[in-house]
Amino acid sequence: MKSKTEPSLDAPWALGEKKYNLILKALDNRRVEKIVEFGSGTSTVRLAQDYPRAEIVSFEHDRKFQQETTNLLKRFKVSNVCIHYRPLKVACFFPRLFLTYSLQENMLPRNLDFSLIDGPVERQTLRGREAVLYLIFPFLRVGALIALDDYHRKSEQAVVRNWLATYKNGLGVIQEYEDLVILEKTAHQLPTRFPGVSVLKDNWSITGILAIRTFHREKRKLNGTLNKWIRK
């Protein structure tokens, strides 16, 4: 606990105070009235406390953590947040596949000023963090900031490369830290469908790994069921 009035971000799985302060610094002197967050937790409470007039929407793929964050919001008497439970589903942005939050457009406020992308959890997804930008890009205003956590990972560095290739004229990196990156939407742009061989190779290799893992998991389940039947 940071204090009786603010939960600490220096806890396992949370963003961390240092990175959070870098984000606040980047947002200083900018309009912050609408925020969307992916991956709820302590950061949800802190954003709501620091931007009490903002409309905040947070997406969470795990019911348990949706409830935990809801309890945290109640404990700190914060009410300007809506947490949506959205399980992960396969999404196709032709010709690429992703496993990401199943968003509905009516859950997203228009003219978003800021997005914190800190979910889904890497091992449960297929470039889920990459896909959320494709989902929300039309809802971000020009000048909006996007913060992506865990930039020390090769996967998040690939995400940023893929984003920049997809929105060549609409996106730029404004701050790059070891484990956090902050980008700015610079123009409205439709996504480039064929952003280059390296982007497609990156996506298809990961899709292949996920398909093989899913196949083996389902095979194990089927074998288990068959064995039970045979023993009966």
Specify the residue, 34 or 199, whose C-beta has the smaller distance to ligand SAM.
Answer: 34
Residue 128: phi and psi, rounded to 5, are -65, -35
Could you say which residues in the range 177-206 bind ligand SAM, by CB under 6 A?
Answer: none
Specify the residue, 42 or 162, whose C-beta has the smaller distance to ligand SAM.
Answer: 42
Specify the residue, 41 or 109, whose C-beta has the smaller distance to ligand SAM.
Answer: 41
CA dist., res. 171 & res. 169, Å (int): 6
Does residue 118 belong to the site contacting ligand SAM (CB under 6 A)?
A: yes
CA dist., res. 155 & res. 141, Å (int): 26
Number of residues that bind ligand SAM (CB under 6 A): 17
Does residue 128 belong to the site contacting ligand SAM (CB under 6 A)?
A: no
Does residue 40 belong to the site contacting ligand SAM (CB under 6 A)?
A: yes
CA dist., res. 14 & res. 169, Å (int): 32
Angle, vertex CA 113, rays to CA 104 and CA 163, nearest 5: 70
Does residue 125 belong to the site contacting ligand SAM (CB under 6 A)?
A: no
CA dist., res. 87 & res. 224, Å (int): 26
On whether the CB atoms of residues 68 and 93 are closer than 8 A, the answer is no
Report which DSSP code applies to 195: -
Name the one range near ligand SAM by CB under 6 A: 60-68, 164-172, 200-208, 218-226: 60-68
Name the one range near ligand SAM by CB under 6 A: 6-14, 88-96, 139-147, 151-159: 6-14
Sign for the CA dihedral angle at 128, 37, 121, 153 comes to positive
Specify the residue, 50 or 62, whose C-beta has the smaller distance to ligand SAM.
Answer: 62
Nearest Cα to Cα of residue 116 among 190, 9, 7, 1: 9
Specify the residue, 83 or 199, whose C-beta has the smaller distance to ligand SAM.
Answer: 83
Name the one range near ligand SAM by CB under 6 A: 57-65, 140-148, 175-183, 184-192: 57-65
- Give the footprint of ligand SAM on this chain (CB under 6 A): 9, 12-15, 39-43, 60-62, 65, 118-119, 121
